[in-house]
Amino acid sequence: MVEAIGKGLYGLVDGFANLHWTNGVMLVVGLVLLYLAIKKDIEPVLLVPIGFGCILVNIPLAGLMDEGGFLKIIYDSGVITEVFPLLIFVGIGAMTDFGPLMENPKIFLLGAAGQFGIFLTLALALILGFTQKESVSIGIIGACDGPTAIYVSSQYAPHLLGAISVAAYSYMSLVPIIQPPIMKLLTTKEERVINMGVVRKSVSKTTKLLFPLVVTIIGGLIAPKGLILLGTVMLGNFMRECGVVSRLTRASENEIANIVTLLLGIAIGATMNGKVFITPQTLMVLALGLVAIVLDTACGVIFGKILKVVTGGKVNPLIGAAGISAYPMSARVVQKEGQKYNKKNYLLMHAMGANTGGQVGSVLAAAVMLSILRGLGVI
Amino acid sequence: MKIDNWTFGFTMVVVGMGGTLLTLWILGYCMNILKKFFPYKKEEEGN
């Protein structure tokens, strides 16, 4: 009898007895993520479920990530199968207007330059001792695109998924802090005040309708391994532009995107168990993620300078910084920085073009990368 | 195919950056062709 009571009581303190110091640290990390989301308004839609998921998975003996556990079911259903990030992509495509990009297609090149950080960071990760697949997953943080980072890392470095996701989403929201000093460092006063004029509305509805089809077919033929990334974004955009499936478009942008975002966030948080998350590797991943975005910005601005020379001074190099996929934050940063140096300069629509080019560019860069990996026989 | 890290990294950087740039250049070119075949008409405004 006494033994039974003792064992019963022990069952109530078992959780405390099994709490490892790494779980304690991650409980604090979860609380910090929630604080950043709620008080600082940093990507709350993602950081709230991630933070809460992190708290849930670091309470010992709950079994939430054991076989059959609640978080494991969500993780296996949506992350391992890659379904969650792909469904979010459909919503992203449905929300995006590629008009400013199509108005000035050479801006596509800024969308390409804005992805160079992916490949340079991949090389750096290799030098630092990460495996080839881990380096690919770390480099993709430079895509500044959460679903892309999750899609790639869940396949090729699932043990780094938590760190990569937190890095991707956190740094995306820190773009207004990360980008301006790099933009100032790499441009001259004369370049920053270049006025690019007004974006005219000169793209037909037919062109907007054919754009997602062209990108899917041509991009898919060049980089077939990444077709699923391209195809889902472009499906969403095609639904938006065709105008005859507004119910599906609205559902993709709203209900589906919201439900999947919630489940994806919880699943990512569920990978942040202290014993696997708190490693020197995690710190290196977080550092390399920052490097990736810095390199993206630098390469974008440098390419903007090249475009300025090629066009005879018509392009303001600042818009190169918007060639990343952090939409529309990066475009707003460019607008704000442009106005700092020339109050009459309205770079927003040009920067939006570069920013949407970055969205296409990030997905294409991932597709190109995966296809090269397949060609090399790594996957 | 097992390749060493140096070859892998160099290939990814050169072919990756070059491939992305080329693909987006091709897509930009296609957009210009589409705009030529399907020019914007003022009648579309307000639709």
| A7 domain residue, yes or no | no
Counting the structural domains of chain A, the total is 1
Beta carbon pairs, A and B, within 8 Å: 126
- Judge whether A347 and A304 are in contact, CB under 8 Å: no
Residue A11 is assigned to a structural domain of this protein:
no
pLDDT digits (tens, 9 = 90+) for A51-101: 999 999 999 999 999 999 999 999 999 988 989 999 999 999 999 999 989
Q: Does residue A15 lie in a domain region? A: no
ipTM of this complex? 0.90
- Nearest Cβ partner for A111 among B16, B24, B45: B24
- Chain segment A192-242, per-residue pLDDT in tens: 999 988 766 679 999 999 999 999 999 999 999 899 999 999 999 999 999
Chain B residue with minimum CA distance to A132: B5
Q: How confident is the model at residue A166 (pLDDT cuts 50, 70, 90)?
A: confident
Give the single-character DSSP code of A105. G
Do the chains contact at B8 and A126, CB–CB below 8 Å? Answer: yes
Residue numbers in A near B47 (CB within 8 A):
205
Which of B5, B25, B27 lies nearest to residue A126, judging by beta carbons? B5
Question: Cβ contacts (< 8 Å) between B26 and chain A: which residues?
Answer: 218, 222
Predicted confidence (pLDDT) at residue B47 exceeds the cutoff of 60: no
Residues in chain A within 8 Å Cβ distance of B24:
108-109, 111-112, 357, 360-361, 364
Q: Do B28 and A106 touch (CB under 8 A)?
A: yes
Report the percentage of chain A scoring pLDDT > 70. Answer: 99
What is the reported pLDDT for A201?
63
Cα A206–Cα A211–Cα A213 angle in degrees, nearest 5: 105
Residues of A in contact with B2 (CB under 8 A): 377
Looking at beta carbons, which residues of chain B come within 8 Å of A114?
none
**Is-cis flag, bond preceding A328, omega within 30?**
yes
For residue A227, list chain B residues with Cβ-Cβ distance below 8 A. none
Q: State which residue of chain B sits closest to A365, comparing Cα positions.
A: B20
pLDDT tier for residue B44 given thresholds of 50, 70 and 90: low
Of A120, A218, A371, the CB nearest to B30: A218
Q: Find the domain containing A203 and state its range.
A: 20-376
- State pLDDT tens for residues A228-259: 999 999 999 999 999 999 999 999 999 999 99
Q: Are residues A112 and B24, on separate chains, in Cβ contact within 8 Å?
A: yes
Instruction: For residue A216, give the nearest of A204, A206, A228 by alpha carbon.
Output: A228
Examine residue A342 and state whether it is found in any structural domain, yes or no.
yes
Backbone angles phi, psi at A198, to 5 degrees: -100, 140
Residue closest to A349 by CA, chosen among A196, A241, A206, A236? A196
Q: How many CA atoms lie within 13 A of A33 on its CB side?
A: 31
Within-domain flag for A202: yes
On whether residue A9 sits in a domain, the answer given is: no
pLDDT value for A67: 93
Measured between CA atoms, how close is B46 to chain A, in angstroms?
12
Check A372 against B5: CB less than 8 A apart. Answer: no
Residue A217 to residue A224: CA distance in whole angstroms: 9
